[in-house]
Structure 1
Amino acid sequence: MSLAPTRSRAGSAGERDSALPAPRAGRLQRPSWRDGRLIAGVLLVLLAMITGALTLQHFNNSVTVLQASHTLEPGDVLSKDDVTAVEVRLDSPQRYLSSVPTDGSGRVVREVPAGELIARTAIGDAAALQVRAIAVPVTGASAATLQRGSSVDVWVSQRESDATGTTSYKAPQRLLERVSVASVPSSGGGLSGATGDPAVQVMVPQDQVAALLAAMNSGGKVDLVPVSAGSAP
């Protein structure tokens, strides 16, 4: 009896594998502008560049303005010795002085403390000056406690005489608040009042000049009381 030939399992598996379609290698495609991921990437790069440029511009946006080297008093004529040029970053640099005026408008019209940036509104011509320097006689002990730039209150005690001719003084009244001392007499001399006492120059608002002069001319006692920086008016 003859036996029919049989196929091996290995042969059958090979035939099945050969019957499957062979995989095709994928081809790389060049990115297109229509690709959403490419567009998003480009936008992110542009955004980062713009943000960096704006940040650098912000930190490099410094300007040169003038700073008071010492306390500037009303009536002072601004000079190069009074200021220091500094570089700062400001939101409104046009509000501050960048150079010393040379057209006659360089007079200080309000007090500028040492180290403060000099605002344009603090500088003007003589017509813009709202205060006048008045010499006030004080005792030597009082003058010794004051210096240029000190803030003082001006107190006045009015003089009065009774029927017997006895002179006395009324209770002191505060005439001026927080006025600046423009100058004090030196130990070797300087300004002095009609009584021979040393005189301290104080910057008096124009509308108060007449009242102060009247008090001094009538024989009233004028006292300058220093005001500390943190005290309430």
Structure 2
Amino acid sequence: MVSESRSSRRPAWADLRFLVGIVLVVASVGGVWIVVSAARQTQPMYVAARAIVPGEPVDAADLAVVEVTLGAASDAYLHADQLEEGLVATRTVAAGELVPADALVSDESAQSTTVVVRSAVDVPGSVVAGSTVELWAAPRLDQSRYDTPRILVADATVVGVTRDESPLAGGTAAVELVIPRADVAAALAAIADGAALSVVPAAPGQR
């Protein structure tokens, strides 16, 4: 009887629980393989080839393509096949930094533009491309007198600085600035009226 009972038992592979266990193991191994494969996948993305500041037109010459692994976060950055014509920057992107997808907009929707001003006083050496600065203006009263300086543009970004080192220039510099479009009229009026303009670094809280 004992021998007959043993021979009538079902083999282990026929047991439902055994089969379920095999399925779970296979699924687990497959899931790990998928995760590892996805983690190894790279995508071509754009990085800034140089410092890009708000208001600047941006095209392929300003960018470089790199292969990176970002996973789900890739949607937040500009893919190598997403560059369009007529784009301008809305924020500063440092050289070598991945370009955020919302950092470039069409020029029609840009809220800033560039102007060039000549500073009446020396521009600090810390003011370089990408710096956040204030533009101050002292209205001209007559040929030799100026009114009290006031802030003309509270939040401008430097595109470039051309310093005049000649003795007669007195340390003045031409500064290309990105300013809000709402401030353009006041800036151009100050330039046309001969106001004394000064570019100074913004307070730390504004950077």
Cα deviation, 1:169-195, whole Å, max 9, x if unaligned, reads 22x322323311112115579xxxxxx
User: Alpha-carbon deviation of 1:94?
Assistant: 3.5
Decide which structure has the larger Cα Rg and report it: 1
Q: Is the 8 A contact 1:151 1:226 kept in 2?
A: yes
Tell me if 1:156 matches 2:134.
no
Residue type of the alignment partner of 2:175: V
Which structure is higher in strand share? Answer: 2
AA partner of residue 167 (structure 1): R
How many residue pairs get aligned? The number is 201
Find 1:184's aligned residue among 144, 161, 177: 161
> 2:162 aligns to what SS in structure 1?
coil
* Bigger shift: residues 139-148 or 213-222: 139-148
TM-score by length of 2: 0.75
Aligned residue identity for 1:209 = V
Structure 1, unpaired ranges of 5+: 1-21, 190-195
Aligned to 2:183: 208
Tell me which moved more, 138-147 or 127-136: 138-147
Structure with the bigger RCO (C-alpha within 8 Å, sep 6+) is 2
**Whole-angstrom CA distance in 1 between matches of 2:71 and 2:164:** 44
Question: Please, which runs of 5 or more residues in structure 2 have no aligned partner?
Answer: none
Which residue in 1 is equivalent to 2:197? 222
8 Å contact from structure 1 (residues 153, 224) kept in 2: yes
Deviations 1:32-58 (A, max 9, x none): 666244134223323322431342244
1:123 matched to which residue of 2?
A: 104
1:169 aligns to 2:147 (yes or no): yes
Determine the structure 2 residue equivalent to 1:232.
205
In structure 2, distance between residues paired with 1:23 and 1:134:
100
Residue 58 of structure 2 is aligned to residue 77 of structure 1: yes
CA RMSD of aligned residues (A): 3.5
Kindly indicate which of the two structures has a greater share of residues assigned to helix: 2
Change in CA separation of 1:224 and 1:153 when aligned onto 2, cut-off 3 Å: same
Q: Structure 1 residues 142 and 100, CA, compared in 2 at 3 Å: closer, same or farther?
A: farther
Given the alignment of the two structures, is residue 91 of structure 1 paired with residue 64 of structure 2, yes or no? Answer: no
- Which whole-Å deviations, capped at 9, do the CAs of 1:62-90 have from their partners, x for residues lacking one? 32211113211222332345324231214
Question: Under a length normalisation based on structure 1, what TM-score does the superposition of the two structures give?
Answer: 0.68
Q: 1:80 to 1:199 in 2, by over 3 A?
A: closer
